[in-house]
Amino acid sequence: MSYFRAENLSLHFGGLKAVDAVSFAVEKGEILSIIGPNGAGKSSIFNLISRIYPPTSGKIFFEDQDITQQPPYDIAKLGIARTFQNIELFENATVLSNLLVGRHRHSTTRLWQELLFMPSVRASEKLHRRRVEQVIEFLDLEPYRDKLISGLPYGVRKVIELARALCSEPKLILLDEPSSGLNVEETDDMSFWIRDMKSELGITVLMVEHDMTLVNRVSDRVIALNYGRVLAMGSPSEVQHHPDVVAAYLGA
């Protein structure tokens, strides 16, 4: 059985079939990219997995557990973290507290303990802080710890979002266009980090991406989508040379 599986997943908005009977599987420890033209349904698949939308039909399995009916906040508890295409950070908080929110799924303290800031809370806060520091080091975010998000440039925010997802120590991470809005150098950094996430942290990666250089560099397998349907699946070069994919991009 696959590590993560989507079976006949569909999402219809009235007559519009944003996602139409899509099935795919992600193996443990691989980097799988989803590509496709605008409006192909890539981000919709992510929103289905993180339960922002309920699917019209179909099922999602993670570690052989049906997660289709789980409430959205349980998805993160299972070990699936995500980033957003248009950056959803907590604007008026510091980088550090943004990253600490990423630790939320590991927090066990109770309200009354927190009100009194019992020694147990202090100890767990220190533990969270140490884990966050490891991620900060991993992604070179040291200069920004105490900065407010609202004052940071776009490229840095993108990395902080990745960092926040990593802070939750996920087993599977969903990256929604990790390189959008980044310059060449930043995209290079991003591709190294994605590879390191796989090799050093052992995280399985599912990502939506437009930048084909990045896709070719990091992906083990690629899925091409158009109009909510799977066009092709396979190694990066196989998919790129698939006639349907060429037709979808070039309109031939």
Partner 1 sequence: MRFLFKTDYEDDIRLFPHSGYIYTYGLLLAALLLAPYVLSSYLMSQLVFVCIYATVGVGLMILTGFTGQASLGHAAFLAIGAYTAAYLQQHNVPFPVYFLAAGLLTGVVGALVGFPALRLQGIYLVIATISFAFIVEEILARWESVTHGNEGMRVKTIQLLGTSMSRDGPVFYYLCLAVLVLTIVGTLNLLRSPTGRAFVAIRDSETAARSMGINVALYKVKSFAISAAITGFAGVLFAHKLSFISPEMFTLQLSIEFIIMILIGGTFSLHGAVLGAIFLVMIDPFLTYLKDDMPGVIAGVAATFGAGTERAAHIQDAVAAFASANGLKGAIYGIIIVVFVLFEPLGLYGRWLKIKLFFQLFPLYKRATFKRQKIYVKSERNR
Name the site residues for partner 1 (rule: CB under 8 A).
47, 50, 52, 71-77, 81-82, 84-93, 96-97, 100-105, 107, 109, 111, 114-117, 121-122, 125-126, 129-130, 133, 150-151, 154, 157, 164, 168
Q: Is the distance from CB of 173 to CB of 29 less than 8 angstroms?
A: no
Question: 38 vs 86, which CB is nearer to partner 1?
Answer: 86
Minimum gap (Å) between residue 236 Cβ and partner 1: 28
Closest separation between CB of residue 41 and partner 1, Å? 14
The token duo for 102 is 């990423």
Residue type, 89: L
Helices (H), the chain: 42-49, 72-78, 95-102, 111-116, 119-138, 154-167, 184-199, 212-218, 236-241, 243-250
Q: 11 or 231, CB closer to partner 1? A: 11
Is the separation of the CB atoms in 174 and 76 below 8 Å? no
- How are the residues of the chain apportioned to helix, strand and coil, as percentages rounded to the nearest 5? 45, 25, 30
Q: Yes or no: say if 95 and 87 are a contact pair by the CB < 8 Å rule.
A: no
Query: How near is the Cβ of 181 to partner 1 at its closest, in Å?
Result: 9
Q: How far is CA 149 from CA 17, 125, 146, 168, in A?
A: 36, 21, 9, 19
Q: Report, in Å, the least distance between residue 183 CB and partner 1.
A: 16
Q: Which is nearer to partner 1, 89 or 245 (CB)?
A: 89
Tokens for 52, please give them: 């922002």
Shortest distance, CB of residue 87 to partner 1, whole angstroms? 7
With respect to partner 1, which residue has the nearer C-beta, 99 or 231?
99
User: Secondary structure of 151-169 in the HEC alphabet?
Assistant: HCCHHHHHHHHHHHHHHCC
Residue 191 CB, nearest distance to partner 1 (Å)? 23
**Of 201 and 212, which CB lies nearer to partner 1 in the complex structure?**
201
> Least CB distance from residue 114 to partner 1, whole Å?
4
Q: Say if CB 224 and CB 209 are below 8 A apart.
A: no
Nearer to partner 1, 33 or 83 (CB): 83
Which residue, among 36, 51, 40, has the nearest Cα to 6 in the 3D structure?
Answer: 51
Identify which of residues 73 and 192 has a Cβ nearer to partner 1 in the complex.
Answer: 73
